[in-house]
């Protein structure tokens, strides 16, 4: 491994793939949020004919002309898609499919032509289909460095404009911002980040290079600036991993491994990201189900006692007064007994002192919510969303009108009071 890293060729490839990863990650964030993931795919496919035409004109595989050619046809493809959508009844996905296949088809035809005529299949343009990072040379990387610096600097300087145009273009226009210019600039930057990645990753997989880091980053944050930076980091890391994994194994393609790396990072985030990951979501859902189940059983029992004046429920009673059943009910009962809210017996069900108090609070809060909903306009000033709909945490003066309504509707929870009076 260290030997490999000492090899200047590998070093260049490494720098190149990391730069590509970073720029496509950063610009990919905007593409994703503008819902233009598919557009990225069309762009990269539409670049192929440009590469071929540039090669035919220049006659050699020099990076700068190829990239310019790629950029031009990718831009034309993108423009055509937007024009189709704007001026005809064709929907975006159809327009993208159309442009993508037509341009890619033309590209393949040109490529075949070049391969026939070039000196014995030596053009090396085929690598643009699936990418060949190992073919990167120092002058290519120099070009990438310049492009990356330019793209990242513009993103940094115009960050707030790029943000508002991505979030709400009409509003930006209303503010008098030069939206046509900024939009064109952003499209150009996305095209640029796509075409400079083509050599390493290839037209087929380039869209994944653009989108995977961005989706990954979005799992970890709720802020655009953090997302853009993270996405760049994920892209760069994927470039690093893909190159390092593929380098020691001969015949291992770097481009696809870069994509595999970024997709692995995506799957890890999908499952393990805090807040948005599937695992966290599953745990949160389970907790919510438990606490609502607990509350339903408690309130059901409380209202039974309220209605019947009996303080012990049989299993049949319990089934009747609340919506849970089967295993879930048994687990809930066990939990309530463990929390010392129910007496620990298995035939009949009875609140402990602590339990009846808790049930009273639950029932009271639920009924206050009911009153609140009935008279929403009157209570609109209450900060209920802020305090998680906990009416009992309100100051007394705010609770009073709700209490009066409860009394008026004869809904004030009565069990606890009667017990206190009994004593």
Partner 1 sequence: MNPVSTNNITVAYHRKPVIQNVSFEAPEGKLIGIVGPNGAGKSTLIKSILGLVPKASGNISIYGKPYKKQRQIVGYVPQRGSVDWDFPTNALDVVLMGKYGQIGLFRRPNKKDKQEALECLAQVGMEAFANRQISQLSGGQQQRVFLARALAQNASVYFMDEPFVGVDAATEKAIIQLLTDLKSKGKTVLVVHHDLQTVKDYFDWVMLLNIRKIAFGPTEDVFTQDNLQKTYGGRLAFLDQESNGVNPLA
- The verdict on 164 binding partner 1 (CB under 8 A) reads yes
- The verdict on 282 binding partner 1 (CB under 8 A) reads no
- The verdict on 221 binding partner 1 (CB under 8 A) reads yes
Helix, strand, coil percent values for the chain (each to nearest 5): 75, 0, 20
CB of 222 to partner 1, least distance (A): 4
Q: By CB under 8 A, which span of 93-101, 161-169, 244-252, 317-325 interacts with partner 1?
A: 161-169
CB of 168 to partner 1, least distance (A): 5
- The verdict on 281 binding partner 1 (CB under 8 A) reads no
- The verdict on 280 binding partner 1 (CB under 8 A) reads no
CA distances (Å), 149 to each of 88, 269, 365, in order?
38, 28, 58
- The verdict on 385 binding partner 1 (CB under 8 A) reads yes
Kindly tell me which residue out of 105, 124, 174, 184 binds partner 1, with binding defined by CB under 8 A: 174
Kindly tell me which residue out of 62, 168, 353, 390 binds partner 1, with binding defined by CB under 8 A: 168
Could you tell me the two tokens for 159?
Answer: 């960050």
Q: Are strands 348-349 and 313-314 parallel, antiparallel or unpaired?
A: antiparallel
| Alpha carbons 209 and 261: distance in angstroms, whole number | 10
Secondary structure of 144-171 in the HEC alphabet? Answer: HHHHHHHHHHHHHHCHHHHHHHHHCHHH
Nearer to partner 1, 163 or 343 (CB): 163
Q: How many CB atoms lie within 10 A of CB 393?
A: 12
The count of chain residues that interact with partner 1, using the rule CB under 8 A, is: 34
| Alpha carbons 131 and 148: distance in angstroms, whole number | 19
Kindly tell me which residue out of 173, 350, 352, 414 binds partner 1, with binding defined by CB under 8 A: 173
Within 23-42, the residues that bind partner 1 by CB under 8 A are: 33, 35
- Give me the DSSP letters along 392-413: GGS-HHHHHHHHHHHHHTT-S-
CB of 35 to partner 1, least distance (A): 7
Within 250-279, the residues that bind partner 1 by CB under 8 A are: none
Q: Shortest CA distance to 299 belongs to which of 356, 384, 257, 219?
A: 356
- The verdict on 240 binding partner 1 (CB under 8 A) reads no
Could you tell me the two tokens for 55?
Answer: 């090669």
Binding-site ranges for partner 1 (CB under 8 A): 33, 35, 157-161, 163-164, 166-168, 170-177, 218, 221-224, 226-227, 376-377, 380-381, 383, 385-386
């Amino acid at each position: 491994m260290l030997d490999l890293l000492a090899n200047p060729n590998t070093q260049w490839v490494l720098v190149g793939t990391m730069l590509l990863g970073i720029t496509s990650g950063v610009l990919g964030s905007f593409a994703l949020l503008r819902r233009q993931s598919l557009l990225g795919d069309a762009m990269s496919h539409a670049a192929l004919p440009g590469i071929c035409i540039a090669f035919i004109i220049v006659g050699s595989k020099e990076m700068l002309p190829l990239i310019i050619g790629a950029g031009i046809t990718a831009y034309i493809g993108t423009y055509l898609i937007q024009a189709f959508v704007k001026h005809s009844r064709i929907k975006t996905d159809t327009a993208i499919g159309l442009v993508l296949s037509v341009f890619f088809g033309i590209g393949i035809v040109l490529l075949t032509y070049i391969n026939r005529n070039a000196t014995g299949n030596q053009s090396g343009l085929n690598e643009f289909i699936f990418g060949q990072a190992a073919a990167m040379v120092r002058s290519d990387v120099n070009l990438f460095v310049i492009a990356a610096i330019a793209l990242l600097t513009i993103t940094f300087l115009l960050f707030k404009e790029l943000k508002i145009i991505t979030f709400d273009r009409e509003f930006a226009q209303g503010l008098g911002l030069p939206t046509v210019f900024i939009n064109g600039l952003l499209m150009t930057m996305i095209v640029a980040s796509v075409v400079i990645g083509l050599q390493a990753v290839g037209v087929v997989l380039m869209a994944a290079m653009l989108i995977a880091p961005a989706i990954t980053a979005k799992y970890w944050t709720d802020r655009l600036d953090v997302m853009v930076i993270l996405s760049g980091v994920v892209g760069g890391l994927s470039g690093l991993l893909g190159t390092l994994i593929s380098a020691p194994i001969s015949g291992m393609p770097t481009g696809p491994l870069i994509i595999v790396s970024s997709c692995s990072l995506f799957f890890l985030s999908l499952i393990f990201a805090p807040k948005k990951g599937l695992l966290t979501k599953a745990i949160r859902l389970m907790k919510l189900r438990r606490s609502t189940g607990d509350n339903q059983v408690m309130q059901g029992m409380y209202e039974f006692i309220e209605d019947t004046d009996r303080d012990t429920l049989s299993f049949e009673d319990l089934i009747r007064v609340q919506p849970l059943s089967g295993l879930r009910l048994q687990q809930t009962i066990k939990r309530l007994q463990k929390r010392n809210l129910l007496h620990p017996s298995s035939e009949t069900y009875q609140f402990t002192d602590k339990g009846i108090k808790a049930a009273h609070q639950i029932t009271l809060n639920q009924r206050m919510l009911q009153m609140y909903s009935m008279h929403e306009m009157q209570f609109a000033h209450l900060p209920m969303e802020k305090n998680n709909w906990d009416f009992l945490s309100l100051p007394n003066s705010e609770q009073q009108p709700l209490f009066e309504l409860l009394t008026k509707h004869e809904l004030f929870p009565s069990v606890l009071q009667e017990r206190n009076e009994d004593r």
